[in-house]
Amino acid sequence: MALHLYVWLYLAVLPRTLRYHAERGTDRLTSWETLSTLGPMMAEHRSVHGVGGVGRFDQWCPPLKFRGTEYKLGRLEYDRGCGERPDGTTGSVLHLHIPSGTPLSPDSCDESFDLARAFFERHFPDEPVSHFTCHSWLLDPRLTEYLPERSNIVRFLRRFTLKPPTSGAADLADGDLLEYLFSRPSRQEPVTESRLADLPQETSPQRAYVAHLRSGRNWLARTGWIPYRTAR
């Protein structure tokens, strides 16, 4: 029951969320594309943790969706917010998220940016956006040491102007990548050699992960921006 508590909460607020979407003129397809990601999240929870529910995931993404802040538009998801811009000022930005699923092809990203501009300008004209911004392991430029230039991940990260890395531990992504690349529970503590030796090495990002940590370095989640108007 405890691991399903949030599922019940999301379902309880669903009618209110749908009303809010309708008030903003959101089409039904976008509403359901956005809110039906709860199912895949539960499937992912079962695959990573071996039990149903959502309780052991960080609870940051569904609340954004169920309070009408985040929308899935094509391949990518966007939440409206106030954020830092490249010149150090703050203002309306769209935080971009990359759910697991189909490949992150350049065409699917371009199409999603076009959908996002059309959607937010129509439904939230009072929030003029200056940049798309993203905070993700997918923006760690050291990925280019391991993955080919033609890979979707490298082509994705090359779109962004990066914020200089921070020196703190908050941006360490080693533990989170266990979940994203290996469907293993994410961890806070350092990933030891014995854990590395146990990881499958079937795909290029999985091999990159292990080789990079064995070189004595860490993976970082980096922050980057793309200008809103010209993003392609």
Contact footprint for ligand COA (CB under 6 A): 98, 100, 103-104, 136-138, 147, 151-153, 180-181, 203-206
Q: How far is the CB of 35 from ligand COA (least distance, A)?
A: 19
Q: How far is the CB of 133 from ligand COA (least distance, A)?
A: 13
Residue type, 116: A
What torsion do the CA atoms of 49, 51, 54, 57 make, to the nearest 10 degrees? -10
Residue type, 21: H
What backbone torsions phi and psi does residue 114 show, to the nearest 5 degrees?
Answer: -65, -45
Q: What crossing angle do the helices spanning 38-49 and 5-23 adopt, rounded to 10°?
A: 160
Q: How far is the CB of 13 from ligand COA (least distance, A)?
A: 25
Residues 58-70: b if buried by 16+ CB within 10 A, e if exposed? eeebbebbbebeb
Query: Looking at beta carbons only, is 151 or 186 nearer to ligand COA?
Result: 151
Query: Looking at beta carbons only, is 153 or 213 nearer to ligand COA?
Result: 153
Contact 186, 175 (CB under 8 A): yes
CA dist., res. 199 & res. 201, Å (int): 6
**Token digits of residue 120:** 């937010």
C-alpha angle 203-166-212 in degrees, rounded to nearest 5? 25
Query: Looking at beta carbons only, is 30 or 206 nearer to ligand COA?
Result: 206
Query: Looking at beta carbons only, is 137 or 228 nearer to ligand COA?
Result: 137
Distance of CA 152 to the CA centre of its chain: 15
Query: Looking at beta carbons only, is 39 or 128 nearer to ligand COA?
Result: 39
Query: Looking at beta carbons only, is 147 or 210 nearer to ligand COA?
Result: 147
Length of the chain: 232
Distance of CA 122 to the CA centre of its chain: 24
